[in-house]
Amino acid sequence: MQKLILANYQAPGDVTVLTAAVRDLHRCCPDRFITDVDTDWPELWENNPYVTPLNAADIEVRRIECRYPLISFSNERPLHFVHGFIDDLNQQLGLDIKPTRIAGDIYLSDEEKSQPSLMEQITGEAIPYWIIVAGGKFDCTIKWWHIRRWQAVVDRLRDRFLFVQVGAGRHYHPPLKGVIDLRGRTSLRDLVRLVYHADGVLCPVTCMMHLAAAVEMKPDALSPRPCVVVAGGREPATWEAYPGHRFLHTIGMLPCCATGGCWRNRSVPLGDGKDTAHRLCVDTVNNLPRCMHMITPEQVVEAIRSYEPLGERTKLCAGNIFDHRMPPLFTNVAAIC
């Protein structure tokens, strides 16, 4: 059996997709490989049955830098992100791995599954909830939707859904009203457990979207896990959208994304040396990319409500649930759009 260490140092969303390639390597080539991984996010590999610790100094171990060059063809070919790492492994190992599922592969231990959800630990009640991400990283502000629009969605669904807001403290995540505020308070493993117990996820194109598809399901949960993604026109839907998700995009609706995603990064310049012309949005409305401006709160509300016929959806519990809201952890930066 060949010993492999698969390495990648990209963001958590990328590594979540890499878990699919490791799974499918073993499913398509059983008993041929022993695999270990080297990434910045070991929390995503906990309990993974396909990962075995290996000694990098072992002369029998081969180290492989995992990439996804197929992204360069994402506007021309009907390919999903999970094909990216798989195709790269095929090229480097001379294999013919096929995707067995359009989703990553994140596992929880039996102990984690049996524990109360983070929400139940906070509130003392097993309250159904949706996760909401209302911001993102500064290196890709073109993915941001305006905070007033996220708030409008929360307000419209306040009597039906309880939202739990998450986001890294070092990124842009302005506070929403009428939500449980966990911004800056969750580790990556906390997020995995939070997704496991969630009724659904609402977010832009971000790690949480990949986790929504990758984290294993509760035995009695609605499958696939509901997820609404405010996507705009940056990425082609064929590359990013997961089965069962509501991927709200504008591909084909504007000249700048008429035939595929624009793959630009900034809606407005930030003066950090990354504002080159090919990275800046070419069509904005009050500093919001027009493709994101075209997606309305009403469309997002309708997408969330579209899951209701599939099963009994979340009911907001009466009472003083928001008394459990924790005090803000950090002062919010000013919105740039």
The C-alpha atoms of residue 186 and residue 166 are separated, in whole angstroms, by 8
Sheet with 61-65, side-by-side order of all strands: 33-39, 2-8, 61-65
Give the model's pLDDT for residue 311. Answer: 58
| pLDDT at residue 284, as a whole number | 95
Residue 223 is predicted with a pLDDT of: 78
- Tokens at residue 54, please? 């290996």
Are 8 and 39 in contact, with CB atoms under 8 Å apart?
Answer: yes
pLDDT of residue 302: 97
Q: What is the pLDDT of residue 258?
A: 97
- The rounded distance, in Å, linking the Cα atoms of 195 and 119 is 11
Q: Please say whether the beta carbons of 32 and 2 come within 8 A.
A: yes
Cα separation, 268 vs 271, in Å, equals 9
What is the per-residue pLDDT for 118?
87
Phi-psi region of 196 (alpha: psi -120 to 50; beta: other; left: phi over 0): alpha
Q: Are the beta carbons of 252 and 280 closer than 8 angstroms?
A: no
Tokens standing for 238? Answer: 């064929």
Number of Cβ within a 10 Å radius of residue 178: 16
Is 232:289 a contact under the CB 8 Å cutoff?
yes
pTM: 0.91
The mean pLDDT values, 10 residues at a time, for the chain of 337 residues are: 97 98 98 98 98 97 98 96 98 98 98 92 89 95 96 95 94 96 95 96 98 94 90 98 97 97 93 89 95 98 90 43 38 27
Residue whose entry in the numeric block shows the structure tokens 């294999």: 95
3-state secondary structure the chain: CEEEEEEECCCHHHHHHHHHHHHHHHHHCCCCEEEEEEECCHHHHCCCCCCCCCCCCCCCEEEEECCCHHHHHCCCCCCCHHHHHHHHHHHHHCCCCCCCCCCCCECCCHHHHHCCCHHHHHHCCCCCCEEECCCECHHHHHHCCCHHHHHHHHHHCCCCCCEEECCCCCCECCCCCCCEECCCCCCHHHHHHHHHHCCEEEEECCHHHHHHHHECCCCCCCCCCCEEEEEECCCCHHHHCCCCCEEEECCCCCHHHCCCCCCCCECCCCCCCCCCHHHECCCEECCEEHHHHCCCHHHHHHHHHCCHHHCCCCCCCCCCHHHHCCCCCCCCCCCCC
User: Domains of the chain, with CATH numbers?
Assistant: 2-93 (no CATH), 113-324 (3.40.50.2000)
Rounded-to-integer distance, Cα 254 and Cα 163, Å: 32
